[in-house]
Amino acid sequence: MYRLHGGNRDAAPGDIKTGSHTQHINQAALNGVDYGCAECHAQTVAGDRLVIDQGIHGNLLVNYSGARAGKNAAACNTSYCHSDGKRSAGMVVSWTGGTPITNCVGCHGVASPAAFTSVAGEPNYANEGLGLFKANSHATHTQKLKISGVSVTGAASCEICHIDTVTTAGTAILSNANHLNGSVNVKLDTAKAGLTADYNYSTRTCSTISCHGGGSPRWGDAASAGCNACHANLSGAHAAHIGNLISAGMISFYNFTANRSTGSFYRYGCGNCHPAADDTTHRNNVVEIILRKNKPGASYLVSLNNLITTDTGGFTKTAADNFTCETVYCHSNGRTTGTAEVPVAGDYRQTPNWYGTFTGNRCAMCHDNPPRYAGQSHYVAESSLGDNGVRPFAETGHMTGIHYMNTYVGNNKNGYLGYSSSGNMAHGNSALATTISCYTCHSGIVSSTKIDTYAMYDTSSDFRCATCHKPGSRTPLQAGEITDTALHINGAKEVRFAPITIKTKAQLANVANALGWSRSGGYKTDTSYDSADLSVATWNAQSKTCLTACHVNQPGITWGAQLKCVSCHANQ
């Protein structure tokens, strides 16, 4: 027999070398075993070299039949040995030539069509879903797996779930009967997956597995794995910062930095507060907080943390249940967005304790209510409008109403509402006068119905809403609401004028000469008022100028600049 065609591996160097025999009978280092002749020539031999039919042996024909034999002696990729393990063909192979298979990818990493590129031979057919024949979660395991704080990728990850099938390095098959036995053999390496880690074949479910925080992920079911498997119940203020980002499956990797905020939900990616590029810190039993403005992978929002230059800056942790941020953009007055603006400590607010509450004067917990830094016009402590040479000058700002303190009629003739909303008062009766609030210039961002009445709460200003608005008032002392979080704390100053007709009882002397204004009723009578369409107002973010009916549509009205009486009373 040896003289005719050489023997098997035991007859080296005279072993048979025709075709691809060597790759099958002398390749234990890769296959885990050297296959005997009977695997493909069962009609001729048994027990590897024992000839059982002399009539077939020596008949000048290749009798190709056996446990490992396919249906085509020329192309074996249709046989189970070279399949993807799920009855589909693997790489096209030829007995007499072609590309030799030297790793696991050649058999079950070449699905057609492929859902992803196999890096270690992990089956890459499309995931059909939980409980189905071709359920597949290999990509998320072999592409990047975290074990005890270390990234395990490629072939090295195979052994964690197939400890009885592949070597520790995952680049070769163990010398046992598990490979090519027609079954999917899953046995977890408990030294890496947890001492009590287990796998249920019938439900395809892992249990008490440290890789998933002790959870029970199911093969092919993305909803049972990912971030939600370990972080389904995050502590402290996570819910206020990430909303349902994790539970809704919007995030699938640790260093996600995108802002997915919408409606009433803030959804900031984990990488904004945690390391954004170095995931070796993930699953290392340490909560890593890095807010540095130029940290690797930093998002635009993080780049606005201008005062934070070290990995330990921007926050204070005094106990396991006491954590605050001090100099982060998200909790600032918003002034830090311009390159020409130099932030100072006073631009920031210390946050409430991460494990505490966030109630009451909520707006002031991030910035003054309203913002009062130099160079703005929300509130001006000493305005020269109506300057009569006596200090202090009158305070002014874009709050409450136009000349709300000295309109012609109302409670005590000063324009205040008093307790009732009926009658002809300037503030509170929307039929006669419009209350200027945050939504007037930030329409769609803040609520137009739940008005913040904490304005100037920490001052003795005439604009202090709490002077009249008490917890039990008709319009109570209350915080406002953000209606579109995507436009709030996004690194931009969003100005959007409300599409409303504004009304005022502080009537113009000559309404006919006031561009954009009209009059209802007479001049300074109980039921008269002047009005203008605010929906056509425009804002130039670069020059910080507006063109609004409020200023009689005069150009050059600049935010933060000193105004004069004529800025509104042109041609009066």
Residues in the chain: 572
CA separation for the pair 11, 546 (Å, rounded): 93
Please tell me whether residues 265 and 224 are part of one structural domain.
no
SS3 355: coil
Residue 139 DSSP class: H
Is 65 a domain residue?
A: no
Tens of pLDDT, residue by residue over 365-402, are 889 999 998 888 999 888 766 555 555 567 888 988 88
In single-letter form, the type of residue at position 482 comes to I
Q: Would you state the pLDDT for residue 313?
A: 96
- Contact between 421 and 407 under an 8 Å Cβ cutoff? The reply is no
The β-bridge partners of 146 are 151
Is 490 a domain residue?
A: no
> Long-range contacts made by residues 286-289, C-beta under 8 angstroms, separation at least 24?
289/315, 289/317
Please tell me whether residues 119 and 204 are part of one structural domain.
yes
402: CB partners within 8 A, 6+ apart: 436, 504, 506, 550
- Contact between 570 and 554 under an 8 Å Cβ cutoff? The reply is yes
- Contact between 328 and 345 under an 8 Å Cβ cutoff? The reply is no
Per-block mean pLDDT, blocks of 10 residues, the chain (572 long):
62 79 83 84 86 87 79 65 78 77 85 88 90 89 66 84 92 85 89 90 88 81 75 88 87 84 93 86 82 94 92 95 94 70 77 90 91 89 64 77 66 51 70 91 95 93 89 90 95 94 89 91 86 95 93 91 81 78
Q: Would you state the pLDDT for residue 126?
A: 92
Please tell me whether residues 291 and 196 are part of one structural domain.
no
CA separation for the pair 239, 305 (Å, rounded): 22
Please tell me whether residues 140 and 208 are part of one structural domain.
yes
Please tell me whether residues 209 and 281 are part of one structural domain.
no
Pairing of strands 557-558, 538-540: unpaired
For residue 477, the tally of other CB atoms under 10 A from its CB is: 18
Q: Would you state the pLDDT for residue 405?
A: 67
56: CB partners within 8 A, 6+ apart: 43, 44, 63
If you write DSSP's letter for every residue of 75-126 in order, what string do you get? Answer: --TTSGGGB-SSSSB-S---SSSSPPP-STHHHHS--SS-SS--SSS---SP
Is 207 a domain residue?
A: yes
Helix ranges (DSSP H) in 247-364: 300-303
Q: Would you state the pLDDT for residue 14?
A: 75
Q: Which of 493, 439, 496, 491 is nearest to 259 (CA)?
A: 491
60: CB partners within 8 A, 6+ apart: none
Backbone angles phi, psi at 397, to 5 degrees: 160, 175
CA separation for the pair 570, 558 (Å, rounded): 16
If you write DSSP's letter for every residue of 394-431 in order, what string do you get? Answer: PPEESSB-TTTTS-SSSBTTTTB-TT---SS-SSS-TT
Domain end, chosen from 196, 230, 264, is at: 230
Strands of the 538-540 sheet, one edge to the other: 538-540, 545-547, 557-558
Total tally of structural domains belonging to the chain: 2
Structural domain range at position 344 = 247-358
H helix and E strand count, the chain: 11, 16
Please tell me whether residues 284 and 342 are part of one structural domain.
yes
Is 194 a domain residue?
A: yes
Pairing of strands 379-380, 501-504: unpaired
- Residues 333-349, buried b or exposed e (16+ Cβ, 10 A)? bbbbbeeeeebeeebbb
For residue 353, the tally of other CB atoms under 10 A from its CB is: 16
Q: Per the structure block, which two tokens stand in for 474?
A: 């008709």
Please tell me whether residues 186 and 288 are part of one structural domain.
no
Is 202 a domain residue?
A: yes
Is 436 a domain residue?
A: no
Is 325 a domain residue?
A: yes
Q: Would you state the pLDDT for residue 29?
A: 78
Domain end, chosen from 358, 375, 391, is at: 358
- Contact between 122 and 141 under an 8 Å Cβ cutoff? The reply is yes
Backbone angles phi, psi at 194, to 5 degrees: 115, 140
Domain end, chosen from 308, 328, 358, is at: 358
Q: Would you state the pLDDT for residue 572?
A: 77
Please tell me whether residues 135 and 204 are part of one structural domain.
yes
Please tell me whether residues 267 and 329 are part of one structural domain.
yes
Please tell me whether residues 179 and 143 are part of one structural domain.
yes
Please tell me whether residues 354 and 260 are part of one structural domain.
yes
Asked if the bond preceding 296 is cis, omega within 30° of 0, the reply is no
Is 417 a domain residue?
A: no
Query: What torsion, rounded to 10 degrees, do the Cα atoms 508, 509, 514, 519 define?
Result: 60
CA separation for the pair 170, 104 (Å, rounded): 9
Please tell me whether residues 312 and 351 are part of one structural domain.
yes
- Contact between 244 and 260 under an 8 Å Cβ cutoff? The reply is no
Tens of pLDDT, residue by residue over 466-524, are 988 999 888 899 999 999 999 999 988 899 999 999 998 888 888 988 989 999 998 88
CA separation for the pair 333, 365 (Å, rounded): 10
CA separation for the pair 454, 365 (Å, rounded): 11
CA-to-CA separations, 212 to 144, 187, 216, in angstroms, rounded: 13, 16, 7
Q: Would you state the pLDDT for residue 1?
A: 41
SS3 550: helix
The β-bridge partners of 259 are 268
CA-to-CA separations, 530 to 84, 408, 410, 418, 533, in angstroms, rounded: 78, 13, 16, 22, 11
In single-letter form, the type of residue at position 157 comes to S
